[in-house]
Chains A and B, each alone.
Chain A
């Protein structure tokens, strides 16, 4: 109980509600940064965010309906890499496999720039004893079972998260 004990570490409570690559980063970056600062961290994975607790991560990013997403190439000279490709939404929507291509390019860009992978960040969070709470209701809705998720995850509901968040110094919905 963080508030009752003045010497208790600060606490961060996050809700991760989205499962795409771009939305997967913020909760894991914040969780590991807070863990590095000695804070207690808990993340409640709900709705599409719950897929971030699967053993094999397959988060993709889509430029469709996401007009602010830069479309860049992860190879070639620097000037070429910094070009933003104005690909019309109509084309992106109709080309099969466009999300997979955009995901591959973005992952390569991240790797080139020195961004850790989601897998590395999640492993780091586990090493830091971050509480990973999977949403029971989402499991029921989408037909997931306990064994579909990593063993480090615990399963709970809104009340489980709220009790944890009530004593947190920072609470964020992502």
Chain B
């Protein structure tokens, strides 16, 4: 897998629904268009929710994966 270089990192470990989505959306809005946010979460509901969030907002979920028992997302601000 290619390495994705993030511009910002957001740790949502320990937070439950809807906070990972709420915090990620706020963090993405603070990015420039084209920049990438790396978000880390422990809520097992986060992967399907981040996919839905990406479809609804049009921001691109570049990668959704598991690493060291956590869920890691790379999100590119598209608009």
Contact = CB atoms under 8 A, between A and B. Distances in A.
Do A and B belong to a common assembly? Answer: yes
Nearest to B79: A38
A103 B42 CA distance: 26
A114 B15 contact: yes
Where chain A touches its partner, the secondary structure class is helix
B56 A38 contact: yes
A57 interface: no
Contact of B56 (A29, A39, A114): A39
Interface residues of A, number: 16
Nearest to A33: B18
B53 A36 contact: yes
Interface residues of B, number: 18
Contact of B18 (A10, A32, A113): A32
Contacts of B43: 114
A36 B15 contact: no
A38 B52 CA distance: 12
A124 B49 CA distance: 18
A135 B15 CA distance: 33
Contacts of A38: 25, 56-57
Interface string B1-34: 0000000000000111111011011100000000
Interface of A: 10, 29-30, 32-33, 35-39, 113-116, 121, 124
